[in-house]
Amino acid sequence: MDTWTTAHVVKLTGVTARTLRHYDAIGLLAPAATGHGGQRRYGRAELLRLQQILLLKRLGLRLDVIAEILEGGLDQTAALRRHAAELAAETERLATLAATVDATIRQLEGGRPMAPETWFQGLDDAHRYQDEARRRWGQAVVERAWSVLQDMTPDERRALPAEFDRINTALAALRDAGHAPADAPVQDVIADHYRLIARHWDTEPAPEAYRGLAALYTDDPRFRDTYDRIGDGFAAYLRDAMTAYADTLT
C-alpha cells in the first residue's frame, strides 16, 4: 500500500504538521498507520478524506460540521444550503455595517451628518443605543434633520465641512490663547455652531438636545478621537463650551 509521511503530506497539500495532528486529535483525520517514534503515515483514502476536508473548509464549514458530513450524519447538500443561508445573512449584516462605517467616516470628516439611529446599524447590539439616540434628540428631530439635508443642493452639502472647519479652527485658536469655554469670545463662536446645528435640525435645538450633542463629542470615542486630533482635550473643550451655551438658553 502506498503511504506518505507527514512531511510528504505537508509538502503535497500545504497543510501544516500541527494541523494534521489537530485533525487526528479531534477524530477528523486519523493516519493510516503510525510508525516508530510516532511517525504518521497516510494512505490514498486518508489523502482523499483530507481533500474533502479542505474543500469543505474552504466553503466555510466548521470542522464539527465537516466531521458530521464525512461520517454520513449530515447530507452535504443540506449542510451547504444551511451554510449559504448563514452566509447570506452575514453578508447582509456586513453590507449594512460597511455602509454605517462609510457614512460615519464622512460625518466625522465634516460631511453629511447621519441620523443618530443609523450610527449602529449592522452592530449586534444596535438596540442598546437606539433608545439613547431617541432620548438625546427625539424621532421628530431626526426626521427633520434628514428632510433638511435632502432639500439641500449638492453645493450646499459640500460647503458644510468648511463651515465646521471654520468654527473648530476659531475655537482652537481661542483655546490656545487661554480662553475658558464660557468666555464671551468662545460663546460667540459657539453661537455660530448652534445656528449651524439648527439649520440641520430645521429647528432651534432645545437646551437638553444641545447638551446631549455636546456630551456625544466626548462620550462616543469616534467623535472624541476625531476632535482630539485638533488638539489634545479639544473634544472636552467643545463639550464644555456647548454646555455653557445651552445654559444660556434655559
Residue 47 within any structural domain of the chain: yes
Residue 178 within any structural domain of the chain: yes
* CA separation for the pair 190, 196 (Å, rounded): 10
The CATH number given to whatever domain includes residue 167 is 1.10.490.50
247 vs 2, residue with greater confidence: 247
- What's this model's pTM, rounded to 2 decimal places? 0.44
The answer to whether residues 144 and 200 touch, using CB atoms and an 8 Å cutoff, is no
Q: At what angle do helices 17-25 and 6-13 cross, to 10 degrees?
A: 110
Residue 96 within any structural domain of the chain: no
Quote the number of domains for the chain: 2
Residue 51 within any structural domain of the chain: yes
- pLDDT single digits (tens) 197-236: 887 665 677 888 788 888 888 887 867 887 888 889 999 9
Domain that holds residue 56: 4-74
The answer to whether residues 206 and 213 touch, using CB atoms and an 8 Å cutoff, is no
Q: Which of 74, 109, 126 delimits the end of a domain?
A: 74
Residue type, 101: V
- pLDDT single digits (tens) 131-156: 444 454 455 544 454 455 556 566 66
pLDDT tops 80 at residue 29: yes
From residue 31, give the alpha-carbon distance in Å to each of 6, 98, 149: 9, 44, 65
- pLDDT single digits (tens) 41-95: 999 999 989 998 988 888 777 898 889 888 887 777 777 777 777 667 666 666 6
The CATH number given to whatever domain includes residue 40 is 1.10.1660.10
Q: Which of 50, 74, 98 delimits the end of a domain?
A: 74
